[in-house]
Structure 1
Amino acid sequence: MKFLKGFLKFVPIFVLAGLMMLKVNVLTAAPIATIVACLVAYITEKIKLNELIDASIENVKELILVFFILMFAYAMANAFMSTGVGASIVNIALSLGVNARSVAVCGFLVTGILSVATGTSWGTFAACAPIFLWLNHILGGNILLTTASIAGGACFGDNIGLISDTTVVSSGIQKVEILERVKSQVVWSVLCLVVSAIIIYGMSVALKLPTEAANTALAIESIPAEAWSAIEAQKPAAVELLNQVKNGVPVYMVIPLLLVIGVAVTGVPTLLCLFLGIISSYILGSFAGTVESLPVFLGLVQSGFSEAGSWVIVMMMWVGAFGGIMAKMDAFAPLSAIVLKISKNVKQLMFWNGVLSIGGNAALSDEMAQIVTIGPIIKELVDKNVEGSEEDLYKLRLRNATFSSSLGVFGSQLIPWHVYIGFYVGILSSVYPLHTFIATDIIKYNVMAFVTVISLLLLTITGWDRFIPKFGLPREPKVKLKNQTSEVNSDKEICA
């Protein structure tokens, strides 16, 4: 009976995962799963509807600040892509010269930087895919290596960006400061970027790709009309970015990005950082001629608010409500018990938290759904079962936040049925119809995804993360599982 009761509590998860696998939009799947969770909570625990509603609202209230940050992040992403900030980054990189042997690694680094600047991997990929795929075509590069490289690079900002929605949400759920989170993993993240870039270039050399340079403007002009329509439908701001890359923008348009990063490092609150980025892009864009007028610019900001409100915030509210109900009926207690049973120390517990994040991502087929569903589970595993100083426990929560977003975003790159991969294939098929793209082909060449996921889990379980500045987890006996402490105390009592 106890087993059946525990199994029933997981039914809402199966419903959510099943709907996602059937390609049902998460805005539809989450409300359905929430209703199922209410029914299960009543059947298993006799929890009344008003109590479930209260639990849902309380869980969503925890995300209110995150909602405001997301709205400003989306607004700044639109501003950066439309005023020339993104184009200046691309042009600076391409001015160094590109050939078939370097196009993949160049695309990888450009998308990595651009994703940090805009806070959107989806927008970065939509903007850069047509540039680098047609540039790759003209140069005679390897289409799959280039495609997978810009896919991996576009996710770098979601891994470490101050304004990325996944970074913001995962940090909020774990109750850690975004800046502290970025500081803790910046060296590891950059190392992943560097190692991946070296491997990508090594693969280009091994493939004996040609070394003749080509003209970027020619690559953009080669984009077919139907591809332009597809890009505009997916991300209108990306069309403006492409035109700016082609026509050129002043180098000083990179200043808003540098300003946001600079003030963020000094500890300025995230909302103020985003506001400064928006204002500076407007001021400099006015001088550069990339801003038509104040009403038009405000329209970009409004569009960003609208995009966040019509999709990610609504989705988070529903999944947040779902998580509140699941927590109210203690649905994840059996799963937590299994993890605790197989974890002999804190290091192993943290490793399994990472595995749970990957597994949740595969089951839910959506990285944000994984963050808001699995995030509270791994947080509770640490909060309830690990003892140590507040500083050391905070470091564990920082790693949980990294698990949520890093294994969420880069883990999605390795899951063929994930919505992220579906988005990639849709964009690629539209902007470059000369090749039939298959999800598994892109995955095989996604060096950054493999390096990030494998290194994070390996460093955690081996303890080698201590060799990376600010990234190492506190080690026993500074932190220990509470059941271990109980066992030690029991042994002492027996000996006495």
Structure 2
Amino acid sequence: MGENKNQKSNGWALLPFFIFVTVFLGAGVILEVQGVDMAFYEFPAPIAALCGVVSAFIVFKGTVREKIEDFIKGCGNEDIIIMCIIYLLAGGFAAVTEAMGGIESTVNLGLTYVPAQYVTAGLFIISAFVSVATGSSMGSIAAVGPIAVGVANAAGTDLAFTLAAVLGGCMCGDNLSIISDTTIAATRTQGVAMKDKFRVNLLIVLPAALLTIVLLIFFGNPETVVEMETYEYNLTKVIPYIFVLVAAIAGMNVFVVLTGGIFISGVIGIFYSQLSVLTFAQQTYQGFSGMFEIFLLSMFTGGLAAMVTKAGGVQFLLDKVQKLIKGTKSAELGIAALVSLTDAAVANNTVAIIINGPIVKEISNKYKIDPRRSAAMLDIFACVMQGAIPYGAQMLLIGTLSGGQVSPLNIIPLLWYQMFLAVAAIISIYIPYANGLINKPPWNWDKKEKEVE
């Protein structure tokens, strides 16, 4: 999927993506105007993606067998499968921890010690920490999302505002995490060490995160001030969340972390007689089933992306952006545009980075952009777009966890962190303050290879 050399350019190859997006967004907008509750979840996203897939089979050249093979290869892309497994594990973890009372205890613990007027900012920080720890925005949303819903309902804060803060925090942590798949993809395609990319990334992220926290403190007050009471909680039932955070910080694989969290939650539930072995298994499977739509959507978009890429659609985007590049600054803006447009098309930040990685490497070499910075820019703008598109897995998951109470149209205008991060990243292009954290000496483009830790 990442091979772009000698790839033909074909603007018409983007038609299936436009059909997918038009069907999904069009149906959501029409239903929203009609006043339908949760309009964007009435029309199944996988069916919209399937419309794009069917159109690709109709308009693209080649035999049916060749098209099927391309589609299956895209569905079976390693990063797509990894994300799908994370969906399942995250769903299982959320379901079991809820069933054994973990969410209730965590919500009550937060309500006990966090003043209601600061709870929204607190959830942003918690989400960021969990996402950094697990390297997964999806897993973090699954863990913190239900808590945020409970906190918002109990404290009287606006639910869309609260979930936007959670989504921002999760994308912040996912962007910074060294064990994130986006970080791995960005650093590998650019040939740099993760810690070097982290240094550049951190100084760009900090102003956006701090500004978001300050504004959440001032504007995250409950709409109706509620009298806080004494809430009962069991610290033992909070252990699964602590385990997930500590284990991930210790460098444990995200699959092991989430699987361990599921089993720890199950053991605690069985110990307190809130689960039996049978109900533990049933709750885990119910959590898996709850992720079916996102699982299917990810596979369909992965297969569609492979077909569109082979037909020259993505190369068309690359060629158009390259024509606008005049120097180093416009080259960095071109990188930002490339990965943003691709992520908007494929709705997967890891896939967007993999697709654009090789061409961004060529742009970096040609215009003397430090690859440690290009890796950071790839990850930043992929996460900004992924955390804002209404049909992205993160937005769909957080909407699902809300129980249908809010739609993407309610959340998108409140995504302050994503907006601030995009502005901070663009400012860093013209005022390269973040480059101070890059190790010296500067990158040597004359060397064909550079040893990377």
TM-score, normalized by the shorter chain, greater than 0.5: yes
Larger Rg: 1
Name the counterpart of 2:3. Answer: none
Name the counterpart of 2:139. Answer: 119
Distance 2:142 2:118 in 1: 23
User: Which of 295, 320, 337 is matched with 1:355 structurally?
Assistant: 337
Structure 1 residue 19, shift from structure 2 partner: 0.8
Name the counterpart of 1:156. Answer: 169
Distance 2:424 2:404 in 1: 34
| Pair 1:312 & 2:280 matched | no
| Pair 1:25 & 2:44 matched | yes
Deviations along 1:361-412, whole A, 9 cap, x unmatched? Answer: 6x66xxx725477445433422454449xxx757744642443233311x34
Name the counterpart of 1:451. Answer: 420
* Structure 2 gap ranges (5+): 1-8, 28-42, 449-453
Matches within 5 A, 1:100-111: 101-106=117-122, 108-109=124-125
Distance 1:197 1:270 in 2: 27
Deviations along 1:293-331, whole A, 9 cap, x unmatched? Answer: 1211121221222233x2122112111111111111222
Name the counterpart of 2:69. Answer: 54
Name the counterpart of 1:492. Answer: none
Could you say what secondary structure the match of 1:215 adopts?
coil
The one-letter code of the counterpart of 1:15 is: I
Could you say what secondary structure the match of 1:22 adopts?
helix
User: Which of 264, 275, 291 is matched with 1:280 structurally?
Assistant: 264
| Pair 1:403 & 2:419 matched | no
The one-letter code of the counterpart of 1:265 is: I
User: Which of 15, 20, 41 is matched with 1:11 structurally?
Assistant: 15
The one-letter code of the counterpart of 1:156 is: G
Distance 1:8 1:280 in 2: 51
What TM-score, normalized to structure 1? 0.66
Identical aligned residues as a percent: 14
Could you say what secondary structure the match of 1:268 adopts?
coil
Q: Do 1:173 and 1:376's aligned partners in 2 also have CA atoms closer than 8 Å? A: yes
The one-letter code of the counterpart of 1:30 is: A
Change (3 A) 1:56 1:421: closer
User: Which of 96, 99, 105 is matched with 2:113 structurally?
Assistant: 96
Matches within 5 A, 1:176-195: 192-195=208-211
Matches within 5 A, 1:60-459: 60-63=75-78, 64-96=81-113, 98-99=115-116, 101-106=117-122, 108-109=124-125, 119=139, 121=141, 124-125=144-145, 127-129=147-149, 131-136=151-156, 147-161=160-174, 170=182, 192-203=208-219, 214-215=227-228, 248-287=232-271, 289=272, 291-308=274-291, 310-345=292-327, 348-359=330-341, 369=347, 371=349, 374-387=352-365, 393=371, 396-397=374-375, 399-409=377-387, 411-412=388-389, 439=409, 445-459=414-428
Q: Do 2:243 and 2:261's aligned partners in 1 also have CA atoms closer than 8 Å? A: yes
* Structure 1 gap ranges (5+): 137-142, 218-245, 483-496
Distance 1:320 1:6 in 2: 19
Could you say what secondary structure the match of 2:257 adopts?
helix
The one-letter code of the counterpart of 1:31 is: L
Could you say what secondary structure the match of 2:313 adopts?
coil
RMSD (CA atoms): 4.5
